[in-house]
Structure 1
Amino acid sequence: MRSVIKKWPALALTAVLATSFAACSAEDGDGGETVKEDTDVTFTGDPVKVMTIAPVDTAAINTPEIVTAAEAATITINNDGGINGHKVELISCNDGNDPNTAAGCARQAAEEGVVAVVGGFTTSGTAIVPILEEAGIPFVGATAFSAEELSSKISFPLVSGAPAFAEIGARTEEDGCQSTSIVLYDVPTALKAVDLINIGIASAGGEKGTHIKVPTTTTNFSAVAKAAGESECAILGLPNDQIAALAAAGKAQGEDTRYYAVQGALNQKVIQDSNGAMEGAVSAVNFVPASDPVWDDAKAASSEIDWSYPYVQNTWAAYQVLVQVTADLDEVTSATVLDALGRASGIDAGGLMSPVDFTKEFPVPGLNRVFNTNVQFVRAKGTDIESVSDFEDITPLFGG
């Protein structure tokens, strides 16, 4: 039986920074095509501009597939007549994985009069959100790493962010794990993620997990796999390549570890690169798995993309949310979109996620903009990711 988490560490809201963003980096696709613009469509209103912010061609994080997803989404919307007859013009801004460049993207959004920043991926929400807030521009599908994204009235994340860390911790205990390792990069913010995971484990009546600190320069994961193998279960929060290398090393050494992955760390690249070592691995997600037919429209829009990446999914879903909330707007501006978002409930991005209510904030100070409190557990099976639970509301875990 879970106990309610009575207190939430104030610093925990940035826990995702050290783990999920590394795990979610998208890469170039393996070829394929993206939908073409239908030049025969007639629009009845003036064009409206949107922006998607994502790092491309940087030394650390590269998410070109997110840009492709935004392009595919806007073309698909326009081929269906746009937003209430307005053609959607996409501005993709490369934040360079740099706060100063990211702030420049936000200033460009304000200067060009975009009606919303939609989806994307950034670790620089602290630099972006205040500028958007001053300009009154909503951030639909915010990455939800920074304190600002998790508290600002212009921020509308579609992911659970920090609370999902506690949920995956609780899951290990509920699955009967007698001992658990928590494998994260050896960086200061990882300590907050460990706290979150251990809170979840404790809420389900378990003992704290063992924190395995991985140097960021690690290339040989044999020792890490051996250390993780000393526990029955291991929660992994590393980049794709490192997770695959760790799991493969563990398999080669005969380790019999059950793997769990933080939100975003279980995708098809990890499964394929681990050569079967991630079979049965479990994670918690906010979106329906990419193998579900509900993603057929996205796949039809672009076959270049691995739609199992959570922030690729988030970007496509954010564009569906934008269409959903603007359906009845006579005038499409940043002010009217922001107002419509603030009044919207039952938003499910066309069935891609459990319905969310943007009128009700999360009952934890500092995490108040967590709207999507419903997660489901998924598992690696063969080369696919399958659902192994219904969507579950994590709010009761926090006393809500």
Structure 2
Amino acid sequence: MTGRRLTSLLAYVSTAAAGASLLTGCGVLPGATGGSREPVTVMTWAPDQTRATNMPGMPAMAQAYARWVNANGGIDGHELRVLTCNEQNTSAGASACARRAVREGAVAVVGSYSQNGRAFMAPLEAAGIPYIGGYGISEDEFTSPLSYPVNGGQASLIAGHGMQLAASCRTVSLVRPDTIAGDKLPNLLNSGLRKASHRSAVDIPALEDAAEYTQQASRARSRAGAQDGCVTAVLGERTQTFFDSFRRLPEQKGEKDGGGDTVRISSVLGSVGQPVIDRTGGPNSPFEGAYVTGWYPDAEHRAWEPMKKVIKEHAFVDNRVDPADAGVQTTWIAYTVLRQVIESLDSDRITALQISHALDKGVTIDTGGLTPELRWRYDDLLGAPGFPRIVNHDVTFQVVRDGRLVAQKPGFVDVGETVLTAP
């Protein structure tokens, strides 16, 4: 065989082998496999393009995380395969996503958002699949033995928000969804207000997906009063719509909307965040001066630098992934948990049972200062009525200054005792 023919044959064999490798990788880019150990399949779901709250950044962050770890050898030698699903903000959608996770062999659902806890937890529990680091919006995330939350959910946010407002607000009006989940918010907010011997908030239920909120805005402002009154809205993605209605109200004598000397607005992370502030004018946003309670440090905190580096390198053209978005942040922390659990197992094959067993037995997760150390042994659970599986009951107090969410008070505030005393 001549040298030229031998060279051509070797090139053909090399090309064919590369093509076969790409096909057997189910679309995974060359070089993205983790090594000789078996791949690990997980799912991340969230609603997208719905009339209520949408969280497209969560699946997008999960995909970016997978590109990052796979480009660096996978997680302890395992290629990470991420399935994504549009939960659609419906119980049918949540159930369909969970059944797909079971059908496609996912060993965990990680960093996801759904208000339909009952619909998705039942299929996961039947298959023994752990739910790691959900957004914290559904009650089932804090009751199911297979759920491992990374934050204190709405319970901690709302209770903490009451503590934050008690220091500055004479009267508080709470505008919240007229839903089963929304019905729990007044008691949680009042538990935080009572912590400082403050009077209870005025409860104003509202449709979660209304096109405008003029009536509720007028009532909220009137009941808050013209002297050091505060109006807080917790309506998810519709919070922006509410405050748009609020700022359009005719001005009352001596009143300044949006953080002036009289009526002050406020909310919690997830209903108001940096992306919303940016979209509504930055320093000229109606949220300027607003109080906001969050789970994690503000987006400028140095502890977020590793996440920002991953986003810059592996999601730089994806505008769904905003490092200041609470859903993106929660997904990053949830995948940090998954990675450290898999590394602790040091096994060629990873199963759902192995993951949940390791978490139950007390593997400790270091999130680099984004949360306290996380651990889900029985002794670590808060055990609050309705929210027994809370392990992280810290929140942060933030305020909007010059169009940026910044720390109002440095460090974390522990609201565990306040959540425990909520009716």
Q: TM-score range by the shorter chain?
A: 0.7 to 0.9
Alignment map for 1:361-372 (pairs within 5 Å): 361-372=381-392
Shift of 1:357: 2.3
Please tell me the residue identity of whatever aligns with 1:262: V
Shift of 1:313: 1.1
- CA pair 194-136 structure 1, distance change in 2 beyond 3 A: same
- Residue 39 of structure 1 pairs with residue 31 of structure 2: yes
Contact 2:382 / 2:388 at 8 angstroms: preserved in 1?
A: yes
Q: Which runs of 5+ in 2 are unaligned?
A: 1-27
Which residue of structure 2 aligns with residue 223 of structure 1? 218
Please tell me the residue identity of whatever aligns with 1:310: A
Q: Which of 386, 393, 396 is matched with 2:414 structurally?
A: 393
Shift of 1:90: 0.8
More helix per residue: 2
- CA pair 250-169 structure 1, distance change in 2 beyond 3 A: farther
Shift of 1:383: 2.4
Contact 2:381 / 2:388 at 8 angstroms: preserved in 1?
A: yes
Contact 1:375 / 1:392 at 8 angstroms: preserved in 2?
A: yes
Contact 2:159 / 2:419 at 8 angstroms: preserved in 1?
A: no
Name which structure has the greater RCO, CA cutoff 8 Å, separation 6+: 1
Q: Which of 231, 234, 237 is matched with 2:234 structurally?
A: 237
- Residue 280 of structure 1 pairs with residue 272 of structure 2: no
Shift of 1:223: 3.1
Shift of 1:62: 2.7
> Which string of whole-angstrom CA distances, capped at 9 and with x for unpartnered residues, describes residues 186-207 of structure 1?
4454332112212221232011
Please tell me the residue identity of whatever aligns with 2:271: A
Which residue of structure 2 aligns with residue 15 of structure 1? none
- CA pair 125-190 structure 1, distance change in 2 beyond 3 A: closer
Contact 1:43 / 1:81 at 8 angstroms: preserved in 2?
A: yes
Which residue of structure 2 aligns with residue 259 of structure 1? 265
Contact 1:102 / 1:124 at 8 angstroms: preserved in 2?
A: yes
Please tell me the residue identity of whatever aligns with 2:343: A
2 CA distance for matches of 1:55 and 1:101?
9
Contact 1:326 / 1:340 at 8 angstroms: preserved in 2?
A: no
Which residue of structure 2 aligns with residue 51 of structure 1? 43
Contact 2:230 / 2:264 at 8 angstroms: preserved in 1?
A: yes
Please tell me the residue identity of whatever aligns with 1:298: M
Please tell me the residue identity of whatever aligns with 1:123: Q
Contact 2:41 / 2:82 at 8 angstroms: preserved in 1?
A: yes
State the secondary structure of the residue aligned to 1:90: strand
2 CA distance for matches of 1:241 and 1:315?
23
2 CA distance for matches of 1:202 and 1:38?
58
- CA pair 374-90 structure 1, distance change in 2 beyond 3 A: same
- CA pair 184-319 structure 1, distance change in 2 beyond 3 A: same
State the secondary structure of the residue aligned to 1:355: coil
Please tell me the residue identity of whatever aligns with 1:223: S
The alignment's C-alpha RMSD in Å is 2.6
> Which string of whole-angstrom CA distances, capped at 9 and with x for unpartnered residues, describes residues 73-108 of structure 1?
111121222111010011101222221232122122
Which residue of structure 2 aligns with residue 155 of structure 1? 147
Contact 1:52 / 1:91 at 8 angstroms: preserved in 2?
A: yes
Contact 2:173 / 2:220 at 8 angstroms: preserved in 1?
A: no
Which residue of structure 1 aligns with residue 338 of structure 2? 322
Rg larger in structure: 2
- CA pair 247-323 structure 1, distance change in 2 beyond 3 A: farther
- CA pair 335-209 structure 1, distance change in 2 beyond 3 A: same
> Which string of whole-angstrom CA distances, capped at 9 and with x for unpartnered residues, describes residues 336-380 of structure 1?
111122233542433322222211111223311111111111111
Aligned length in residues? 364
Which residue of structure 1 aligns with residue 404 of structure 2? 384
Shift of 1:69: 0.9
Contact 1:374 / 1:393 at 8 angstroms: preserved in 2?
A: yes
